[in-house]
Amino acid sequence: MEVEDSPLNLKNISQPITLQAHQQCRKADRLLVAGKYEEAITCHEKAAELLTEAMKTTECKQARLSMELQRDSHIKQQRFIQERLKRETRREATKSRLAQVQPPPSSPALLTQTSGQLQPSGPPSCRGGQGAGVRHPALPAPDPADRGLPASDHAVPRH
């Protein structure tokens, strides 16, 4: 088969339809990057419809198979974008709920200023002091000698 006789050549009647499908695909890619998920889904739907229509206009099995695979790819892209939209929607809802429930970390209720540095306020167990089992890296390590224990029993590795 000569290149000129190829069903995917520009002279083929299905070319304008497949060209439109490719244009819809490129448009969907731009919309996806811009975060416009619903519009991108619509473009992939149009591309799949156009390819289905183009498949009816050719008798070449290879061309039909190619268009069928492209159509299937657009359908998969629709599903992928729908899942991505759901994830983004859940993420935004979670952010919104957290913003309503938790005050910002610089809230005066959580921090007090002592000697030029912000320190957490509240009971020592919340601040990571002795007995809390967790030490904030900016706070000095507790001295084991203060509790009457030998220093070797409570050696804290330094990084």
Q: Do 62 and 102 contact (CB within 8 A), yes or no?
A: no
In a domain, 147, yes or no: no
Question: What is the number of domains present in the chain?
Answer: 1
Taking CA atoms, 60 is separated from 9, 50, 67, 114, in Å, by 12, 17, 11, 80
In a domain, 30, yes or no: yes
Domain residue limits at 79: 12-101
Q: What is the pLDDT of residue 18?
A: 87
Per-run averaged pLDDT (10 residues), the chain, 159 residues: 45 70 95 95 96 93 95 96 94 88 61 54 50 53 57 52
Q: What is the pLDDT of residue 9?
A: 46
CB atoms within 10 A of CB 143: 11
In a domain, 128, yes or no: no
Alpha carbon 131 to its chain centroid, in Å, reads: 40
Q: What is the pLDDT of residue 98?
A: 87
Q: What is the pLDDT of residue 115?
A: 53
In a domain, 41, yes or no: yes
Q: What is the pLDDT of residue 97?
A: 87
Taking CA atoms, 137 is separated from 26, 122, 143, in Å, by 50, 18, 15
Q: What is the pLDDT of residue 99?
A: 83
**117-120 and 111-114 strand pairing:** antiparallel
Q: What is the mean pLDDT of the chain?
A: 75
Q: What is the pLDDT of residue 119?
A: 56
Q: What is the pLDDT of residue 42?
A: 96
In a domain, 107, yes or no: no
Q: What is the pLDDT of residue 109?
A: 53
In a domain, 97, yes or no: yes
In a domain, 108, yes or no: no
In a domain, 142, yes or no: no
Which CATH number belongs to the domain containing residue 53 in this structure? 1.20.58.80
Rg of the chain's alpha carbons, rounded to an integer?
A: 32
Distance in angstroms (rounded) separating the CA atoms of residues 120 and 127: 6
Two structure tokens written together for 102: 């938790």
